[in-house]
Amino acid sequence: MTHSDHRDIVRMSSIIAGTATLATAGLLAATADGMFRFAIDTQSRNSIFRKGIIAPDRAEKMSVGEAREAGEWFEHAKQPLTLNSYDGLRLHGWLFDPDCVSPVPHAYAICVHGYTGEPAEMAKWAHRYARLGFTVLVPAQRAHELSEGRYVGMGWLERNDLLSWIQLITDSDKEARILLYGGSMGASTVMSTVGDPRLPRNVVAGIAESGFASARDEFVDMAHSMFHLPRLAAAACVDAAGLICKHRAGYDFTEASCLRSLRRTVIPMLFIHGGADSLVSPRFLAMNYAACSSLDREKLLVPGANHMESSGKDPDLYWRTMEGFIRRTFKL
């Protein structure tokens, strides 16, 4: 082989390698863009919000047992409430009066629903709190139900919205004592809020059920389980999608983490998770609990319970733990 031949082979190898790298980068970019549109952009025609993939049996579960009774109460008793978000969105919520003969003075509960959900899914919890004597607020998270917005914030953008709802209450009642409850992404909204320096002292306690520790970790899990991507490939796609999200929606998936907030949390916290949760890994229970710096913290793992189904799997243990926590922290 001549020196010239060798040079040609090296040049050709470099061209092939460069082409392969560009093709790989192009494929990664296209996959990341598709992932962003699927998971975050509610107005995309390929959005998960249009496909009913998450909790397809949602309506069925809301029509049986305690959920059905609470749902009827929810529809009958709800009162509309609105506010403007920090970035100019019109947010909508539902307000409920206490459902008991002796309401607790200045006691409020805010129930925050999950990813692709709606306020009515919180009916079971809202009704329980109303029967304990709380005035209850159930907001629709941005880009959900009647609230405006295009992009979902995975609890990170929504923490600012929750702080606005809290301020709406404290502006009308300076002596308000507030309980925060969140389920699934709503739990991550609550956890991202409880350690925020802007949190007023009116917030007495928080409950986080089936919440993920960070949007990045949750999306890596989803890409691995839903699309069967190897974890390294899933992580690469999620990180690339996070860069797109930063440009379009204003936050990165790594930034959307509850752990930093929990490390600054001082109010009492109760963490709940189903041991058989197939949507948000039960490993997040240990992560969130370990990160929480509050001296008053509890955790409950319900064996065999799937996502947001702990109250149905073991209702006695579930409600005894939750109501005991609320009665103790609010001195009821």
Q: What is the CATH number of the domain that holds 75?
A: 3.40.50.1820
User: How many whole angstroms separate alpha carbon 153 and alpha carbon 311?
Assistant: 27
In a domain, 242, yes or no: no
Q: Which residue has the tokens 């710096």?
A: 293
Q: Do the beta carbons of residue 137 and residue 94 sit within 8 Å? A: yes
In a domain, 223, yes or no: no
In a domain, 12, yes or no: no
What are the Cα distances from residue 87, in Å, to 91, 158, 197, 300, 311?
A: 11, 11, 19, 36, 36
Domains in the chain, number? 1
Could you tell me where the beta strands, DSSP code E, fall in 151-191? 177-183
Q: Do the beta carbons of residue 44 and residue 38 sit within 8 Å? A: yes
Exposed/middle/buried for residue 163 (C-beta within 10 Å: 0-12, 13-18, 19+): middle
Helices 185-194, 156-172: inter-axial angle, 10-degree rounding:
70
- Which ranges of the chain does DSSP label H, i.e. alpha helix? 3-39, 58-61, 65-77, 123-131, 156-172, 185-194, 215-226, 231-248, 259-262, 283-291, 310-313, 315-330
In a domain, 61, yes or no: yes
Whole-structure pTM value? 0.91
- Which is nearest to 207 in space by CA: 183, 231, 185, 223? 183
In a domain, 7, yes or no: no
| Phi, psi dihedrals of residue 44, rounded to the nearest 5° | -70, 145
How many beta carbons lie within 10 A of that of residue 221, not counting itself? 20
In a domain, 274, yes or no: yes
In a domain, 234, yes or no: no
* DSSP type of residue 53: -
Range of the domain at 76: 55-214+256-330
**For residue 132, how far is the Cα from the chain centroid?**
25
In a domain, 269, yes or no: yes
Q: What is the pLDDT along the chain (332 residues), one digit of tens a residue?
A: 555 544 533 343 443 333 333 344 567 889 899 999 999 999 999 999 988 777 666 666 766 778 899 999 999 999 999 999 999 999 999 999 999 999 999 999 999 999 999 999 999 999 999 999 999 999 999 999 999 999 999 999 999 999 999 999 999 999 999 999 999 999 999 999 999 999 999 999 999 999 999 999 999 999 998 888 899 999 999 999 999 999 999 999 999 999 999 999 999 999 999 999 999 999 999 999 999 999 999 999 999 999 999 999 999 999 999 999 999 999 99
**Amino acid at position 208, single letter:** A
Bridge partners (DSSP) listed for residue 257:
214
